[in-house]
Amino acid sequence: MGDMMKKNQYISKAFFVLAGICIALSFFLLAGANNVSPVGRYQLEVVLRGSFPDLYVIDTSTGRVKWVDSKDENKPFEEIRSK
């Protein structure tokens, strides 16, 4: 009976050691993730007014909203003037 208790204690300790290692690794991996460029920063919204679509671009990190016209196509967000 004593050998079985020692075996259970070793299994329990091994489990907690592995759990601690996993928690520490996840902390170190996630702590270094703040230099990653944001994915999905800009959202598009299309509004139909009759048969004419209006396109709005929303910067989700700053909250800025810009209306995109045909002359603004293929421009970076910073170069599009707010209207």
Mode of pairing for the β-strands spanning 42-49 and 52-59? antiparallel
Q: Where are the alpha helices (DSSP H) in the chain?
A: 2-31
pLDDT of residue 21: 92
Per-residue pLDDT tens for 18-70? 999 989 888 877 776 666 566 678 888 888 888 888 888 888 888 888 888 77
Angstrom distance (rounded) from CA 22 to CA 59: 36
pLDDT of residue 38: 63
pLDDT of residue 33: 60
